[in-house]
Chains A and B, each alone.
Chain A
Amino acid sequence: MSRANGPIDIADAWDLRAPERALLAWCVVCIALGFVMLWGSTHVGGGVIDGLDLLPLGLYALSLLTLHLLLVAARFRGDQLILVAVAFLSGFGMLAQYRMGSFETEGTISLNLLLFPIGLILMGAIAIVLMRGRYQMLAQGHWIWVWAVLSLGLLAVLLMFGQRFRGGVYAAGLVTPSEILKVTIVLFVAGFVARNAKSLGAWGKGLPLPPWRALLPLAGFWLVLAGLLVVQRDLGLFIILSIAMLTMLFVGTGRAGYLFFGGIGAVALAGAVLKVLPHGERRVTAWLEPFRDPTGGSWQILQGLSGMYSGGLWGEGFGRGSPQYTPIAQSDFIYSVIGEELGFAGCTIVIVFFLILFGRSLLVASRARDADGRLVGIGLVTVLATQTFLNIGGVTKFVPLTGLPLPFISHGGSSLITGFIAVGILLAISDGQPAAPPRNRMSTQTKGVPGKGARRSRGSAAE
């Protein structure tokens, strides 16, 4: 990594990343204002502000600085706005979690607090390890089968040894290892589709039917996955992965038929799954007719909406709302807490930052030189966007509740870290290939050398 790779040195990188520096600084200022607001209302409310309360902001600023310097030192060329959007969102998440008291422990530093800086640095580390095209290893050769087996194996192990809590399956504590599937399965499917793009795109002449033979491995994998996830009652994850898979198939082969048939299949499946899962039907009823059973099935959603209504346009002010009346406010319903305390305006800001993140990621994915990068990028964006959409849509009663956390903001270790890993890979893709820029000479595609890089990538992505 120390050898010059491409025409960029540290000074160039420093200049190149100047906008990022300025924007990150403003992020810190904005989040700091939020913290000051919270400290003030705690103080006025009779609480005590000590050093531990100042820690979240300090850690946040420090981790952004470290992240930035790391990227400069590594002469990282990748996207800066994705990074800023994630930095702002995770800062917002820290604010919200601090406000909900997730960081409160007896005089020690809570793990929940450390997850944010750890995640941010991890994101940078993954970006650096996989940059200059090394991300291609992830979806090459026998690796994709490793991802497939790993994904299903993890689910099976969970099913055998996991604990049930609130309808989901968890490993030790409330860690949900199945979160990492959002990355591993995208890697597998992207690799598979990239490799078999031709045969997968060969739809029947005349009657446009998909190529069953080529699809067989993928369909089999998906069926096993569906079975395992339905048994685990993890409907949200299943929806996310299915949508990501169909999107990757569509982008990889250019066949809109995948979306068409996928849509039909999805509707049919949704009906079947609702019959199988007892809480599915209840959720749909709560969504369609919230006032039929306002104190029962619709209680959560209506309480969340009541909080938002309390907030109105500008919000009550950070620290002044009463999120204790919002159910599961720290995780699934964090968005309605934001709505209560920062109002519709605050919600709009959050959504705009999410859109910046997704939009830029889509741009990066569309410009990746290789099919692997394109598909992995598309898959990861789809996963993140679908999860965000289902969470926010669920809380606002736009769609039924699926019980998914909000990326980068909700309380939930595994989901948070998975989000950071996904963005890390996206950043690596945005760094492009180790080729000289076109103005020097025509670029030739260089394949990454398996071996050293592969080992390193396993060390980072299989964490």
Chain B
Amino acid sequence: MTYSLDPELWPLIRVALHVGFFFTAAYLLRSIFNARQATELRHLPRAKWSARVPIVLLALLFTGILVYQATWQLIGASRPQFIAFMQLHDRRELNPAHRIMRGRILDHRGEVLAYSEEILGQVYRLYPDGPAFAHVVGYSHPWFGASGMESVANVRLNGGAPDGLGDWRKLGRQLVTQDKRPRGQDLTLTLDAELQRTAFGLLEGKKGAIVLLQPDNGAIRTLVSAPSYDPNRITPALFQDSGPSAALLNRATQGLYPPGSSFKILLAALALEKGFSGTLECPADGFTTSTRYRKIRDHDYYTARKSGSTWAGHGRIDLGTAFARSSNVFFAQLGVRYGHDAFYAMTERMQLNRRIVLHETPYGAWSMRTGEIRRLDPSDQYGLAQMSIGQGAALVTPAHMALIASAVGNRGLAVRPRLIETDEPAPLAYFMSTSVAERISVMLRQVVISGTGRGIDTPRLAIAGKTGTAENPHGASHSWFVGFAPAHRPQLAVAVLVEHGGYGSATAAPIARDLLLRAVDLGLIE
């Protein structure tokens, strides 16, 4: 058969056929209705019982199905979870769920981080500064689904559940006019776009994570994980990479790292809670729980050995001095002195081995891991000594270190971290008593004035914090800085982790300083 149809005309013909089909079916139904008399079965006797009741029942049953079906098929927009499911998992290009102009995602100043735009009848989701915000905002892709806030806050971004008569009226209008493109609601994050960009730039070419949050209300101003990816261009390759350089991994909230010396904040809190006020002997040769194990020594010992000289050791020092100099020997002894039970009670109190939910909707939760402190055998004293200096069986996430710093800065009370501007600040827990927090604040300030962090001391801002250099089996040490500023009245808590960055004082601390100074410029710190 040879014939050709003008493709230009086809849409018109199609609509005509479509309408014709329905008209014919309707006409057929009408004719059937009218033929009731003509097709009356006169040869049959009168009914023994009335068939009317079962017929009406059947009709009601099937009408019930149709009504219920309409709640999905016609006003599915009133089922937020259903819309969210379709956006994530439905691959029909013509599905109206993909045409919804989702709400924008904004930073706390109103800068747009994600928006929807219609291009040639298709709605695309665009991310103006994609990679810098990818791990918080996430992506929304018709094939690969969604992640991050795009996924968790999907319902709100789609416009939420209809609420009140006006919403339903709008829905009805959309249904009749076939305009299924409602505008969703915007979502304002607590992030500061400018600070986030600065942080992302500082991590360029490195692997690591940076978190800055406000101690008094939990608002997260910066949450960066590097390397990142471009949410405008999601490729299958992104999902196949599960190695150590995976871009999808949010290192700030999911990455577990040995905390190194930054963990000494927790040990100091433990000692102060127990009323420790004495001194400990810290020989140069180091400390071990049994001769079978390698000695735990201070880094001054190794520096001296490298340069060929000998080091005399710290001698008898108190907690503040040990903290400022970051003495491993001191803190290893401290941990062993208080024992396993006290140690685990402290990590428990500081919410380790948990997930903290930052934002939760019926469609998912944006949560962070806190850390992983393995339960060691009670006889394993050396393991405890190792954990006390942030090595061995202790692992934490950068976000949680920032939260611990913020608890110290907020007089012991940790406020639940939040990413959504409109979420109410909520207390999470007292990580330590107020007096202990205040004493640790002073110690942290001392670290920057005269201890391992003195390299970042600046007259413009009183920074307080603890450096960390965490050994790991994969290469050079991880570089940490955990702290807050200004010291007397903390307005931002910070945690910086640079994978394989070497000494905390060399890599992470300067990044933290630059960011805190930038925050001053941006008015986040007065």
Contact = CB atoms under 8 A, between A and B. Distances in A.
A310 B430 CA distance: 51
Contact of A366 (B15, B47, B90): B47
A297 interface: no
A345 B22 contact: yes
For chain B, give the interface size range.
35 or more
Given A305-B72, A432-B41, A322 B96 contact: no
Given A33-B20, A41-B14, A355-B58, A347 B66 contact: yes
B93 A396 contact: no
Interface in B57-109: 58-59, 61-62, 64-66, 68-70, 72-74, 76, 81-82, 85-86, 89-97
A453 to B, nearest CB: 19
Contacts of A81: 32, 35-36, 39
A105 interface: no
A314 B92 contact: no
A339 interface: yes
Nearest to A396: B69
A22 B42 CA distance: 20
B429 interface: no
Given A37-B14, A81-B32, A310 B69 contact: no
A168 interface: no
B240 interface: no
A396 B21 contact: no
Contacts of B18: 37, 314-315, 317-318
A312 B178 contact: yes
Contacts of A251: 49
A385 B66 CA distance: 15
B119 interface: no
A11 B41 CA distance: 18
B48 A351 contact: no
Interface string A348-389: 110111111011001111111100001000000000010001
A306 B96 contact: no
A23 B66 contact: no
Nearest to A437: B43
A303 B91 CA distance: 9
A342 to B, nearest CB: 8
B237 interface: no
B35 A80 contact: yes
Given A26-B24, A306-B90, A80 B58 contact: no
Contact of A295 (B62, B89, B363): B89
A79 B39 contact: yes
Interface stretch (B5-13, B134-142, B432-440, B475-483): B5-13
Contact of B64 (A346, A398, A430, A431): A398
B17 interface: yes
A67 to B, nearest CB: 16
B82 A309 contact: yes
Nearest to B26: A349
A349 B70 contact: no
B17 A37 contact: yes
B175 interface: yes
Contacts of A322: 91-94
Contact of B55 (A27, A29, A359): A359
A78 B362 CA distance: 57
Interface string A197-235: 000000000000000000000000000000000000000
A433 B71 CA distance: 47
A68 to B, nearest CB: 14
A40 B51 contact: no
Given A20-B39, A43-B5, A308-B73, A366 B50 contact: yes
B212 to A, nearest CB: 35
B85 A306 contact: yes
A34 interface: yes
A300 B365 CA distance: 25
For the residues of B in contact with A, the DSSP-based class is helix
B44 A368 contact: yes
Contact of B28 (A23, A37, A302): A23
A367 B25 contact: no
Given A306-B86, A317-B14, A322-B93, A37 B21 contact: yes
Contacts of A398: 64-65, 68-69
A33 B62 CA distance: 27
A309 B5 contact: no
Contacts of B238: none
**Considering residues B24, B26, B50, B51, which has the most beta carbons from chain A within 10 angstroms of its beta carbon?**
B51
B68 A396 contact: yes
A294 B89 contact: yes
B25 A358 contact: no
B306 interface: no
A367 B5 CA distance: 53
A260 interface: no
B64 A366 contact: no
B27 interface: yes
A306 B92 contact: yes
A314 B15 CA distance: 11
B375 interface: no
B44 A367 contact: yes
A30 interface: yes
A36 interface: yes
A37 B29 CA distance: 21
A314 B59 CA distance: 22
A344 B73 contact: yes
A6 B51 CA distance: 27
B41 A367 contact: yes
A351 B67 CA distance: 12
A261 interface: no
A41 B10 CA distance: 8
B45 interface: yes
A363 B27 contact: no
Contact of A369 (B45, B62, B90): B45
Contact of A33 (B21, B41, B69, B72): B21
A22 to B, nearest CB: 7
Nearest to A361: B51
B17 A366 contact: no
B165 interface: no
Nearest to B36: A81
B454 to A, nearest CB: 53
Given A312-B74, A325-B91, A397-B72, A349 B47 contact: no
B26 to A, nearest CB: 8
A405 interface: no
Nearest to A369: B45
A309 B51 CA distance: 36
Contacts of B81: 291
A434 B276 CA distance: 109
Given A318-B18, A318-B21, 17 more contacts: A41-B14, A81-B35, A305-B76, A306-B89, A312-B96, A313-B178, A316-B94, A322-B92, A345-B22, A349-B22, A349-B25, A362-B54, A366-B49, A367-B45, A392-B62, A396-B72, A437-B43
24 contacts: A18-B38, A22-B31, A30-B21, A44-B10, A51-B1, A302-B85, A302-B89, A308-B73, A309-B97, A310-B92, A313-B175, A314-B22, A317-B18, A325-B90, A349-B25, A353-B29, A358-B58, A364-B41, A366-B48, A385-B58, A392-B62, A393-B65, A431-B43, A432-B41
Q: Which 8 A-B pairs have the closest CB atoms?
A: A366-B51, A30-B24, A306-B90, A19-B35, A366-B47, A367-B44, A396-B69, A362-B51
